Amino acid sequence: MSEPDFFGSINFWDSGVWHLVVTFSILFAGMMLANIIRLRLRFIRRLMIPSAVLGGFLLLFLGWIWKLATGSPLLNRVTLEELTYHGLGLGFVALTLKSADGGTRKVSIGNSFHAGLTVVGTYLLQAILGLVITLGLSYVFTSSKTFSLGVITALGFGQGPGQAYNWGHTYETIYGFTYGASVGLTVAALGFISASLGGILFLNRMRRRGAFSGYTGEQYTETYELSDFTGSNEIPLSESMDKLTIQVSLVFIAYAAAYAFMWVINLLIEHDVLGNFGHNTVQPLLWGFNFIFGILAAMLLKAIIGGLRKKGVIRRDYTSSFLQTRISGFMFDVMVVASIAAIDLDAFRHKEFVIPLILVSAAALFATYRYCDLTCKRFYGGWSDQAFLALFGMLTGTASTGIILLRESDTKFSTPAADLLVSLQPFAIAFGFPMLLLLGVAPKSVGMSWLTLGLLLILFAVVNIIQFAIKRKKNGGPV
């Protein structure tokens, strides 16, 4: 195959010139149509399914019809998977770049600590149940190579479609798990449905005991002040360079720095510095967790900007919490709609996928609901309901799903529950890191999957001992 001529001329009528524009246009049209449906159909609105999720399912169905009619796909699956992968990393970079004024001052360290442990405990519980189910079924369907796909439950439910795709794709390309990427994306899609079901169930529980009197999914009116849009010392909206352009530039600079770091490490792996361990374990972890390196690069960039401000080199705040939140929301919406539209429905022609997906998703829904309910009642006192909605939504979908559920009972975010989703992240990363290392161990063999299951059980016990051994104040709030 000849190399493309990057320095030659192009024809503007070539389909490749318009490919990305057409892809984005279809994705945005799907989300807009879904949003109109939510606004017009009350029973859909009350399901609290995000427009990006509903739009993804609409495009998945439309793509299936299109392929039956024309024999060709509506959207390029590789492009959708790339958008899913990078949408996750860019979204987390934008969240990290939020300025300190938009941070988490209302949340105590104790609240954040317990929330981080709740998140890790839920990840472990989802992975344990998923692995038990897929390992058990591997002895029933002896020709199946899905014995370790259960650990992806924690990624699909707990971390959303970006990570589910990353590791499903890794299992598929490195370890030979057929349809691994599609199964990961499907688990994530079922997680969004679980968020809707669990959220409606919990809000109805609140209504029965008089803690909630609203209508689930109804439109609400937001009231903002100028300070919600801009800080007192932020750069102007438009000078020689638009304020939004600067925010997007910072996001991509941090993400490019993360890529540069991963590229250097990967260079060592490709030169066999780490041997087979580097190729089989470190490389999938390195590129599968691009968002973690993005977060670290964004933190470094924030520290550099802060240092320059202290030295008087720059005098204004260059990061905007409002705009970075909007950028992260945009990235996550694109990630979600692209990930669901990328699901390969051919996987469901095989019985070894259908039964595990149903069982794993049902088990994850029940376990996540009960575990979040237990921990929130114990640690969050007067706002335990709001903490549950935020954490449960995030642990079955994404942080945006948690915010959607939270808005139903706390429309003005008067409780610390919204800030909790940000402040828990350092604790979740610290306590969850050992589990991440096991993701590259489980798919190597059935025996290694059993070993992984045993280690996950030990980690789950340790997390809960730490979680519930911490004493609480008499008012129900953590120390």
Reduce the secondary structure of 24-83 to three states and give it as a string: HHHHHHHHHHHHHHHHHCHHHHCCCCCHHHHHHHHHHHHHHHHHHHHCCCCCCHHHHHHH
Report the number of distinct structural domains present in the chain.
1
Is 87 a domain residue? yes
Do the Cβ atoms of 394 and 332 come closer than 8 Å? no
Is 478 a domain residue? no
Per-residue pLDDT at 408: 74
pLDDT at 220 over 60: no
| Residue 163 DSSP SS3 | helix
Encode 10-21: b = buried (16+ Cβ within 10 Å), e = exposed: eeeeeeeeeeee
Is 234 a domain residue? yes
Length of the chain: 479
User: Of 204, 143, 123, 214, whose CA–CA distance to 412 is shortest?
Assistant: 214
pLDDT at 102 over 50: no
Do the Cβ atoms of 36 and 29 come closer than 8 Å? no
CA diameter of the chain:
73
User: Of 362, 250, 263, 340, whose CA–CA distance to 297 is shortest?
Assistant: 250
How many CB atoms sit inside 10 A of residue 9's CB? 5
How many CB atoms sit inside 10 A of residue 417's CB? 29
Segment 386-396, tens digit of pLDDT: 999 989 988 99
Compute the half-sphere exposure of residue 19: CA atoms within 13 Å on the CB side of its CA. Answer: 10
Is 188 a domain residue? yes
| Residue 140 DSSP SS3 | coil
Per-residue pLDDT at 395: 92
User: Dihedrals φ, ψ of 234, to 5°?
Assistant: -75, 160
Average pLDDT over residues 357-373: 93
> Which H or E element spans position 135?
helix 109-138
**What band does 238 get if pLDDT is binned at 50, 70 and 90?**
low
Is 112 a domain residue? yes
What residue type is assigned to position 199 of the chain?
Answer: G
Is 51 a domain residue? no
Of 98 and 452, the structure prediction assigns the larger pLDDT to: 452
Question: CA 82 to CA 356: how far, in whole Å?
Answer: 26
Is 236 a domain residue? yes
**What band does 342 get if pLDDT is binned at 50, 70 and 90?**
confident
Range of the domain at 207: 77-213+229-469
Is 386 a domain residue? yes
